[in-house]
Amino acid sequence: MNVSVKELFKNKNNQIVKEFTLKNEYIEVSFINVGASITRFIDLKSGINVVLGYNDYQIYTENPNYFGCVVGRNAGRIENGVFCLDNKKIELSKNFLGKHQLHSGLNGFQRKTFTEIMNEDSISMIAVSNDGEEGFPGCVRLKVTYQLIDNEFHIKYEAKSDQHTIINLTNHTYFNLNRDKEKSIVNHNLLLNADFFLELDPEMIPKRSKSVIKTPFDFRKSKLIGRDLDETNEQIKIGNGYDHPFLLNKNQSFNHVSQLSVDNLTLDVYSDQDAVIVYTGNFLDGSTSISDEKKANYRCAVCLETQGIPNSMHIKTFKDKNYYQKDESYRQHTVWKLQNNSE
Ligand code: GAL
């Protein structure tokens, strides 16, 4: 495996923004130290970059669309921006509809400058979220490690808090396996290893689990993402497409999550997490410039966000999930396996 580092520019705090690239005979993957964000993920056989990245790297310091970044310390929405911890009501910052919290507010890991550790066959990125940040108790130390093993990209998260708190992390990469990144992903086939998904309330808060049977959310057999997308289904209307947590069928500690494919390219995701949020880029509107001066059009990408169950603290059956005691280890292992089946 080949490793290279490039210095890009200084951010407003005078820190150097750098891009790291891991390359072997199958894949070239690049990421930067802002949000540990994945900027490119290239299938070397076809030369196709399968992820969206900003054309202007300065935009990663704000990252309004969460391109490629680690999201946390809590990914997703928390209803009314509150939760209960040790019989106390914890009030969080509210950055969604002025009422709920989304992706840990404005200062999540997605905006932080990480410090790198160059390991023998991987790179780890380290960042800290301070006690009280965006309302969350506890100082959380995070290490995320990126490694290429043949045609698999491994993401390992390790985190610890110095106080009882909640931790739920994900990566927010937008995938598009088309050569033309402006083309919608409705032509991609998707399979999800999930019998249940979470319904959203009208303000997009995950609420209750529902069987996928006889709904547009049934991806147990691979089907085109676009097949049931414009249905008059109430849930599709609320998300303006797919923007829902799917509850993963867990047979082992590490499971097949999903398969995304178009033409000769296939991306399989494996993880030890409870859920995957499938978000079909419904907030993209063509106003963001991506690599090669292209535009991030409506639904021109799909995010497959492996994580714990979002808003768990407000859902009866999951209310004890995602809490971590002082010094308890949070861990996540997710793998993206990219295959090119062309001759
Ligand atoms: C997703 C979320 C979407 C949207 C997006 C960022 O994780 O489910 O509703 O907020 O992040 O634009």
User: Is residue 152 annotated as a catalytic residue, yes or no?
Assistant: no
d(CA 311, CA 168): 10
Distances (CA, A) of 168 to 46, 50, 275, 311, 335: 35, 25, 11, 10, 17
The atom number, within ligand 1, closest to the CA of 75 reads: 7
Kindly report, residue by residue over 214-245, the tens digit of the pLDDT: 999 999 999 999 999 977 999 999 999 999 99
- pLDDT above 70 covers a percentage of the chain that reads 100
Q: pLDDT class for 89, splitting at 50, 70, 90?
A: very high
Comparing CA positions, the residue from 70, 60, 58, 43 lying closest to residue 124 is: 70
Answer yes or no: is the C-beta of 242 below 6 A from any ligand 1 atom.
no
d(CA 91, CA 5): 40
d(CA 77, CA 102): 4
Q: What is the mean pLDDT of residues 9-25?
A: 96
Ligand 1 center–CA 297 separation, angstroms: 15
Element (H, E) at 72: none
Answer yes or no: is the C-beta of 243 below 6 A from any ligand 1 atom.
yes
* Whether 63 contacts 110, CB under 8 Å: yes
| 44: alpha, beta or left? (left if phi > 0; alpha if psi -120 to 50) | alpha
100, 103, 172, 244: the active-site residue: 172
Kindly report, residue by residue over 20-29, the tens digit of the pLDDT: 999 999 999 9
* Whether 197 contacts 236, CB under 8 Å: no
- Strand 302-307 and strand 174-175: the pairing is antiparallel
Ligand 1 center–CA 1 separation, angstroms: 33
The atom number, within ligand 1, closest to the CA of 172 reads: 7
DSSP-derived secondary structure for 178-214: SSSTTS-GGGSEEEE-EEEEEEE-TTS-EEEEEE-TT
- Identity of residue 229: L
Ligand 1 center–CA 42 separation, angstroms: 24
Kindly report, residue by residue over 158-192, the tens digit of the pLDDT: 999 999 999 999 999 999 999 999 999 999 999 99
* Whether 39 contacts 57, CB under 8 Å: yes
User: Is residue 305 annotated as a catalytic residue, yes or no?
Assistant: yes
What does the block give as tokens for 41?
A: 């993920």
Ligand 1 center–CA 303 separation, angstroms: 9
Q: In degrees rounded to 5, what are phi and psi of residue 110? A: -60, -25
Distances (CA, A) of 326 to 115, 135, 139: 23, 17, 10
Answer yes or no: is the C-beta of 277 below 6 A from any ligand 1 atom.
yes
Answer yes or no: is the C-beta of 174 below 6 A from any ligand 1 atom.
no
| 36: alpha, beta or left? (left if phi > 0; alpha if psi -120 to 50) | left
